[in-house]
Amino acid sequence: MEYSKSYTCSFRVFRNIVFVIILLVSFVLQSCKTSQKASKGYDKSDIEIAMVKAMQWQEKNHKYGKGPTDWTNGAFYSGVMRAHKATKNPVFEEAMVAIGKSNQWKTHDRYFHADDIAISAAYVYLKSIGNPEVDLQATDTWIYEHLYQPQDWKEGKGNAEQKILWWWCDALFMAPPVLVQYSNLHKDQKYLEEMHKYYTEAYNYLYDKEEKLFYRDNRFFIRNMPTDKREPNGKKVFWSRGNGWVLAGLALILDSMPKDYVHRPFYENLYKEMIVKVVGLQHPDGLWRTSLLCPESFQFGEASGSGFFTFAITWGLNKGILDAKTYRPVVDKAWRALAACQQADGKIGWVQAIGFDPKPADKDSWFNFGTGAFLLAGSEVYKLK
């Protein structure tokens, strides 16, 4: 009898010890998992919620450069477009359809200016996924006029800055990705050929092969700049968002460009070359400063240029173009920093206002293209494994 009681008691103690060990192991494993998720910050549902909140806040708080068909809104809806492509959440498609119908599917009003086709990125995307409400008539007209009709800029008859068609580096985000999508939609590479002609013209005009960065326009060419017009540290002036436009545009171009397109290696090589340079300019806090080569001029980072860089780098990781060991930590830091730029109501702060050179931003400065950059970055981080 005493042996039986002693055996039962020992068994209960053993069972309780095993139960406690199982609980501890479970707790440790869950803690490690939670810690790992927190360190990476890549919970898909959290990212999707953050993107929806950003879009919804932006749609309630309009601020355009020249109106709802202009480049600022085009950049915003490019982000919405990529958010939908990544998540398939219908709220993003509904937003694109709503702005298209509100705009009567129009472009902006200058056929000669690359900025004014940016809004069509969302229209062409909707058409490509079979949305029946899209009307591309205005986009067709714009592309024909821009590519094939006479224009002073094509002939170097513009003003002091306007010597070529795409004379400012922002243009390389605004028009080329739309033209690649449009070429795919029509299964006609003549649009790709025209795009490549004007892209390489801009590359030869604006790209500094020594620094591996783009000047915003010819006002910043080092040969045109006296010493007192350079950065305070004597370096060349390279604007973060300007180079963000180019690098994000390259990712969008390559994402749509046919793999067998004869000039694709040019874009792949330029993308990789710029990535190496830009990654080396990231700050420990995860963001980039508005002046890439004189970051000490600005105490804080800036969200729009940083968002475009993060999108482009993460796209390369997702496509297997970039080495994960080297570039994943860059994205880890960048996305955590960008997420911290989002306020509780969805607003994306730390966005430099419309401009063409390095200027400061603060936690409350915002613009729709900054939200677009956040959505672009989130759309690729969402897909990381």
Alpha-carbon distance values, 92 to 48, 54, 282, 292, 372 (Å): 11, 11, 30, 33, 12
Eight-state DSSP code of residue 301: -
Instruction: List all residues 6 or more positions away from 106 whose beta carbon is below 8 Å from its beta carbon.
Output: 69, 138
Adjacent-strand bridge partners of 207: 214
CA dihedral for 188, 193, 196, 198, sign (positive or negative): negative
| Token pair 């570039």: residue | 327
Q: Evaluate whether 240 touches 306 at the Cβ level (below 8 Å).
A: yes
Catalytic residue, chosen from 115, 116, 170, 217, is: 170
Mapped onto helix, strand or coil, the DSSP state of residue 352 is coil
CA-CA distance, 96 to 74, in Å (whole number)? 11
Q: Evaluate whether 71 touches 108 at the Cβ level (below 8 Å).
A: yes
Catalytic (active site) residue 170:
yes
Q: Virtual CA dihedral for 156, 161, 167, 171, nearest 10 degrees? A: -140
Annotated active-site positions, please?
170
